[in-house]
Amino acid sequence: MMKKILLIFSLALFSLGVYGQDKKNDQAIYTYKKGDYFGIGKWYLGREIAYVMGYEGISWLERPNREDEEKTSILIKNMNIKKTDYIADIGAGSGYHVFKMAPRAKKGEVYAVDIQPEMLRAILMNSQFDKNQNIELVQGAEKTVNLPKKKFDKILMVDVYHEFNYPKEMMESIIASLKDDGEIYLIEYRMEDSSVPIKKVHKMSEKQAVKEMKFVGLKLKENIDNLPWQHCMVFVKDTN
């Protein structure tokens, strides 16, 4: 338990040190202009980055009808989790998916990564935390997930990638933590479907996602089309 608690706070000073970088340092990759009311005015490969949902939105993450709306149980099945898998949930929030994955990876581990210590604290205080001894808590930062190199079989990102302030740097950090044959599950609300009741800046198209992942050396293995609102895109390292 003590090790898990320390993981939350041991990197806090580091994350504060890299927070809020000067625009001049990244203008070669990012551009700045006015856009969506719910966007931050920073653009990456033609897409405006959305504001991060704060910890005050935990009730949205834990809403009772989430399973009905998103079919999270199907998403977990899509991941084909093995008992020995090492999994990282990036932007884990309140641990909604973490607590569904941990029992399936009994002989592996599930790392819950979030930039907000309040989110990690919510996981820690959840009654399910002590029941699952294979959950580790890690505080990420704006440019790094602070994870070990080449450790993970699967990495999950549910409706969080579009909020990364530094998507290129974050993905480079994520890829470094992925095993050579590992998989990244990118879950995003479908931009292509106007009936999905989510703000536009919080959606992504498959085309845009492929473009951004290709930029950091990933390729689309498949887009599993069985979720009501979201893409379930599986990316792997492009070794060609």
Stretch 34-47: mean pLDDT: 97
Backbone dihedral angles phi then psi of residue 232, each to the nearest 5 degrees: -120, 85
Percent with pLDDT over 90 in the chain: 85
Specify the pTM.
0.90
Provide the token pair at 125. 């205080």
Provide the token pair at 129. 């935390």
Stretch 146-172: mean pLDDT: 98
Residues 64-100 pLDDT 10s:
999 999 999 999 999 999 999 999 999 999 999 999 9
- Distance CA(9)–CA(39), nearest Å, equals 29
Q: CB atoms < 10 A from the CB of 124, how many?
A: 18
Task: Look up residue 169 and give its amino acid.
Answer: E
Predicted confidence at residue 194, as pLDDT, reads 96
Fold for the domain defined by 2-23+53-237? Rossmann fold (3.40.50)
Predicted confidence at residue 2, as pLDDT, reads 41
Confidence at 240, pLDDT banded by 50, 70, 90: confident
In this structure, are residues 136 and 128 in contact, taking their beta carbons and an 8 Å threshold?
no
For the chain, the structural domain boundaries read 2-23+53-237
